[in-house]
Amino acid sequence: MKRQRLHRLATFAAVVTLCVIVLGAWVRLTHAGLGCPDWPGCYGVLTWPDAPAEINVANEAFPERPVEVAKAWKEMVHRYLAGILILLVVAINWLTWRGGEETRSFRGVATLILSLILFQAALGMWTVTLKLKPIIVMAHLLGGMTTLALLSWLAFRSRPRPFGQIEPVAVATRAKRPLVLVALTVLVAQIAMGGWTSANYAAMSCPDFPKCTGQWWPDTDFGEAFTVWREIGVDYEGGVLDHTSRATIHLVHRIGAVITLAVLLFAAFSMRRLPPLTLGANLLLVGVLIQFTLGVLNILLKLPLANAVAHNGMAALLIVMLVWLLNRTSPQATA
């Protein structure tokens, strides 16, 4: 019974994490990341300034960043949902540590998720206090994706088994595990590159496709484009790099997209004939094709909001698909 509760709670927490990731993308893409210049409140209050008197007080307290209500409420809704996720992870830990033998084996991963989600909260704070510093923004995205992956893994592994039965895994199925790990590694690297592209406002630095500014290989500056740590105190909203550096970032992200497409397609086609993996492989096949199409449409349609948010959401779903396949290729798989 307690294992079933854990499974349901972990599943719900994974869904909430996906919502947090998608909502975070929406906040970032609507340029509301600094909609609240302080943390954890917003202009010194727990909600956001809305009434004229509140806005006047907030503007006096933060003259460098006047209130924009449309941005402030988006940022705070994102924070509220992230706060709910923290409470869910705390509940997961309570259940694993108080659940006896049924949940003992999940204590390690539950504790890891709690540690990660608290670090995520710190990254969220630094995102604001360090004014959208690219390395922090990218780390915050990766932290969200890692949280989703771990909660998905916990949800899959905690699925109740009838009478404690363990499903045997065929040798051919287990043999695909290294391929799944390679695909997951490539996908995470591409997501990190996407986060770096977004954090440096380079998504439209190559406004044409398949060429970049009319060239197959435009002028590049890898040193400036991939300087990880820059000075503190700079407001990075809108980006600080020149066009050449941003085009370099965008170009690397495009190359990464082609590599990721090839690796994930190869993985999907390699696994779809094995019955235990067919469903996940087919979903992966469709998912990566949709994701690549969304990426191309971002360029052709000039980064429409709905399309760009969907691009972030599909990346998260691809993570879940590969975690499912990782679970299914484990020596002791769950359905």
pLDDT of residue 274: 93
pLDDT band, very low/low/confident/very high, at 102 (cuts 50, 70, 90): confident
47-97: per-residue pLDDT in tens? Answer: 999 999 999 999 999 998 999 999 999 999 999 999 999 999 999 999 999
- Segment 132-159 mean pLDDT: 96
Q: Is the dihedral of CA 190, 192, 193, 195 positive or negative?
A: positive
pLDDT of residue 228: 92
The Cα–Cα gap between 96 and 19 comes to: 24
pLDDT of residue 167: 54
* Residue 46 CB neighbours (<10 A): 10
Mean pLDDT for all residues in the chain: 93
Does the pLDDT value for residue 101 go beyond 90? no
Does the pLDDT value for residue 162 go beyond 60? no
Both structure tokens of 211: 């060429």
Does the pLDDT value for residue 168 go beyond 70? no
Is-contact 6 106, C-beta < 8 A?
Answer: yes
The Cα–Cα gap between 39 and 290 comes to: 36
Alpha carbon separation from 260 to 118, 170, 194 (Å, rounded): 30, 27, 12
Does the pLDDT value for residue 333 go beyond 70? no
Does the pLDDT value for residue 151 go beyond 60? yes
Which contacts qualify for 210-219: CB closer than 8 Å, 24 or more apart? 212/247, 212/250, 212/251, 212/254, 213/247, 217/251, 218/244, 218/247, 218/251, 219/244, 219/247
- Segment 227-243 mean pLDDT: 89
Does the pLDDT value for residue 135 go beyond 90? yes
Q: Catalytic positions, please?
A: 75
The Cα–Cα gap between 213 and 247 comes to: 9
The Cα–Cα gap between 154 and 13 comes to: 10
**254 CB-near residues (< 8 Å, 6+ apart):** 206, 212
Rounded to the nearest angstrom, the gap between the alpha carbon of residue 125 and the centroid of all alpha carbons in its chain is: 17
Both structure tokens of 267: 């993985």
pLDDT band, very low/low/confident/very high, at 164 (cuts 50, 70, 90): very low
pLDDT of residue 331: 77
